[in-house]
Copies of this chain bind each other. A is one copy, B any other.
Amino acid sequence: MAISPEGTKPRVRRSSGRITLADVARTAGVAPMTASRALNSPATVNPDMVERVRRAVIETGYVPNLLAGALASARSLLVAVVVPSIASTIYLEFVQALRGALASRGYQVILGESDYAHQSEPALLEALIARRPDAIVTVGAVRSEAGRKRLLASAIPVIETWDMTVEPVDMLVGFSQEDVGRAAADFFFDAGRRSLAIISASDDRAAMRAQGFLAAIRARNPGTEVPSVLIPAPSTLGAGRRAFVDLLTRHASIDAVFCTSDMVALGVLTEAKARGLRIPADVAVMGFGDLNFACDTDPPLTTIRADGKTIGREAARLILERSGATAPTERIVDVGFSVVKRASA
């Protein structure tokens, strides 16, 4: 057996060879803890110590290891965000606003994708929990019982968004999807339309909007058959065109169409124009999302705006407040929505 020069047992060495806080501390001539404080809470350290450490950081090219910091402090400064699909444009501004608001406070975002599939939800959540994020934000309610249990067991703050469920796992920022559908139907009725139809995507929240739409119609005219077409996610312009063709073929008399997404509504507009239908004279069209093209289509698209930016910012606010953890924070924020009346309806 090898014996080291001093006669002691050989030690295992497996340092990564990279610059660590200890190196910075040595260079600055202070204790590692002082270096740590100089970087993380400079106010608690003598200014010229801070300066010496700062210089040492530059000299050594030190970049902190947040993995180690997170492990030691039990704060990862990581927030997991779960979207149904990265490719769905409707949540982009939401993710952007959320990420931006968090980044300014040192948090970073890790991305999960639920693929509109509920069965893999628990596995996805577990993979995210394994990173020990300081919060988990999901688009839509957590549906699976297993998923809810895991979240609860993890004790990580959870924010469900874009929805108004009866029993959130923890916190909630959103609006009632059913009310959106109701508002669309009411709008059409108020505008004198009587033969309403709907083109709905098949995801959870679009289905809820559709449900509200149908409920509002039936509340006025019980037993009405509402012409409707269901299209698979993701919502595309082409799907909207084809769905509208389908609708017109089966129900020639419709005078208003609610689309659960602006992209689909743009498809309807496109198809209408291609076949010489006048919008809104012949058919009124309403979308959902108020995507950035909605105000510039021809005619401009009447739509229902749910402010993703606000949802993102509010979610970030709740996370930050909860991390402060002084008083109990509010648990439910209803950001509402608004009907944006333009020329198409």
Contact between chains at B238 and A293 (CB < 8 Å) = yes
Stretch in A44-52, A129-137, A174-182 touching the partner: A129-137
Give the complex CA separation of A237 and B209 in angstroms.
Answer: 26
Stretch in A93-101, A194-202, A223-231 touching the partner: A93-101
The residues in A between 38 and 79 inclusive whose CB is less than 8 angstroms from any CB of B are: 61, 63-68, 70-71, 74, 76, 78
Question: Interface residue count for A (Cβ, 8 Å)?
Answer: 60
Contact between chains at B71 and A99 (CB < 8 Å) = no
Give A294's nearest chain B residue, CB to CB: B237
Of A64, A89, A96, A131, most buried by chain B (CB within 10 Å of CB) is A131
Q: Does A117 contact B (CB under 8 A)?
A: no
| Known contacts A130-B63, A131-B66; A16 and B86 CB within 8 A of each other | no
The residues in A between 72 and 117 inclusive whose CB is less than 8 angstroms from any CB of B are: 74, 76, 78, 85-87, 89, 92-93, 95-96, 99-100, 103, 108-113
Contact between chains at A270 and B297 (CB < 8 Å) = yes
Contact between chains at B92 and A86 (CB < 8 Å) = yes
A163 to chain B, nearest CB (A): 21
Q: Note all chain B residues with C-beta closer than 8 A to A295.
A: 238
Q: Does A323 contact B (CB under 8 A)?
A: no
Give the complex CA separation of A15 and B295 in angstroms.
Answer: 55
Contact between chains at A111 and B132 (CB < 8 Å) = no
Contact between chains at B237 and A293 (CB < 8 Å) = yes
Taking a contact as CB atoms closer than 8 A, the residue among B76, B89, B103, B241 that contacts A92 in the complex is B89
Q: How many copies does the complex hold?
A: 2
Q: Does A236 contact B (CB under 8 A)?
A: yes
Give the complex CA separation of A128 and B293 in angstroms.
Answer: 33
Contact between chains at A111 and B99 (CB < 8 Å) = yes
Give A149's nearest chain B residue, CB to CB: B61
Taking a contact as CB atoms closer than 8 A, the residue among B74, B108, B150 that contacts A110 in the complex is B108
Q: Note all chain B residues with C-beta closer than 8 A to A293.
A: 236-238, 263, 266-267
A150 to chain B, nearest CB (A): 8
Q: Does A329 contact B (CB under 8 A)?
A: no
Give the complex CA separation of A99 and B100 in angstroms.
Answer: 20
Contact between chains at A99 and B126 (CB < 8 Å) = no
Q: Note all chain B residues with C-beta closer than 8 A to A93.
A: 87
Give A127's nearest chain B residue, CB to CB: B108
Q: Note all chain B residues with C-beta closer than 8 A to A274.
A: 298
Q: Does A273 contact B (CB under 8 A)?
A: yes
Q: Does A296 contact B (CB under 8 A)?
A: yes
| Known contacts A96-B85, A111-B111, A113-B100; A132 and B65 CB within 8 A of each other | yes
Contact between chains at B110 and A96 (CB < 8 Å) = no
Give the complex CA separation of A303 and B125 in angstroms.
Answer: 39
Contact between chains at B70 and A67 (CB < 8 Å) = yes
A190 to chain B, nearest CB (A): 28
Q: Note all chain B residues with C-beta closer than 8 A to A2.
A: none
The residues in A between 247 and 273 inclusive whose CB is less than 8 angstroms from any CB of B are: 263, 266-267, 270-271, 273
24 A-B residue pairs with Cβ-Cβ distance under 8 Å, sorted by A, are A18-B155, A63-B150, A64-B130, A66-B131, A67-B67, A67-B131, A67-B132, A68-B71, A85-B96, A87-B93, A108-B110, A108-B111, A108-B127, A108-B131, A110-B110, A110-B111, A236-B292, A236-B296, A237-B296, A237-B297, A238-B292, A238-B296, A270-B297, A273-B273
